[in-house]
Chains A and B, each alone.
Chain A
């Protein structure tokens, strides 16, 4: 697992080289490593399990366990894979360069979201998670309960 800064640089450095599949695989690996950082920061071992044929989705599921706000990047992971498949299945397509550029941006979004979330854990909390209704917050809720 490379440091986050190297991952960011790695995503930016991807280009449509003659070995396109190798570039795609590298971009997918970088996306996986972003989630690995999140999983390791939570004190867990990153899974090798695949979901729907991809480790990225297995890692996402692991990262979201017990933290619904992590689902804010669920569709981002799916879009990474959609573009991976799109390019892999038709590498000669006229839009391939554009598609690869878009896949880089989506991977970059995953990187930005997760690296941001590692600094501010609540990122995505308000928007996507709707905190579990039985959650007991740290502060005293006595007043509400006694009303």
Chain B
């Protein structure tokens, strides 16, 4: 079976953020999948991936939590691909896969906790974890996407912001940096490729993987606000109308600190922030509401109407 066919039906792991602040990402991911004829089967009774809280306290417990999600997909749903649109979830599942393959102690803890919880132990390699970008890029591709575009994104200049968890640390993403066609950890391009196929003009954006202070957005808001403000200003200087995101934590952070920067530092940066799935959905002919634009914190409707997408 080719990767293209394999990704046509995948287990969907939305994770906690997509049921809360990132709801519009959830909505737009599902809507785009449906429009493209791709099937998402939500992982049954999924749990938290271990995110930052558990991982910082006990990395092995995080490995277990992520492995349980993969175990359910593999052993109870007979799926061999898990798609996680959230960078945090994607990163943690990848990290769990790496830990189980390379650290006997982690595998032992996961086995003991799995038995105690009463489910089959996940064995390294049972599923392949992919991001929403891999999913669309490999199942549909740029050409397939371009053929389906109804409202071109032409005239829209986009700065693609990948954040940090999508590519770091390198060693948990063995499929990246694997030659032509693969994703790059130092200069990721999958989102650029997909949005270009939908007609958008990508700008050269040097802070596409820079730190936004994400995990400290509440505990150290001032640092996060300054980091985000710098990212917004750099995107603006690069000529972008929109910052496209592919992670609910990055997205919420950019939106919240855009407002906070204006309130606390008196600096307003007039730039739109949209999930890449929202942009793709509208390019495929979906209305803004269908892709949850109204659920974002920032208001992009005026801009979208100007560009003929609203």
Name A residues whose Cβ lies closer than 8 Å to a Cβ of B.
Answer: 68, 71-76, 78-79, 82-83, 98, 101-102, 105-106, 108-109, 112-113, 116, 119-120, 122-131, 133-135, 137, 139, 141, 144-145, 147
Contact = CB atoms under 8 A, between A and B. Distances in A.
Interface of B: 51-52, 55-61, 63, 88, 91, 95, 99, 102-103, 105-106, 109, 112-113, 116, 163-165, 168-169, 172, 186-187, 206-207, 209-211, 213-216, 219-220, 223, 226-227, 230-231, 233-234, 237-238
A109 B227 contact: yes
B234 A102 contact: yes
Nearest to B165: A127
A128 B165 contact: yes
A127 B238 contact: no
B223 A83 contact: no
Contacts of B207: 76, 79, 105-106, 109
Contacts, number: 136
A116 B169 contact: no
A144 B113 contact: yes
Contacts of A134: 103, 105
10 contacts: A73-B211, A105-B207, A116-B213, A116-B227, A126-B88, A128-B168, A137-B57, A144-B60, A145-B109, A147-B109
A123 B168 CA distance: 14
A35 B106 CA distance: 34
Contacts of B216: 116, 120, 122-123
Contacts of A102: 206, 234, 237-238
A102 to B, nearest CB: 6
B91 A112 contact: no
A144 B211 contact: no
A127 B164 contact: yes
Given A72-B211, A75-B209, A128 B164 contact: yes
B223 to A, nearest CB: 4
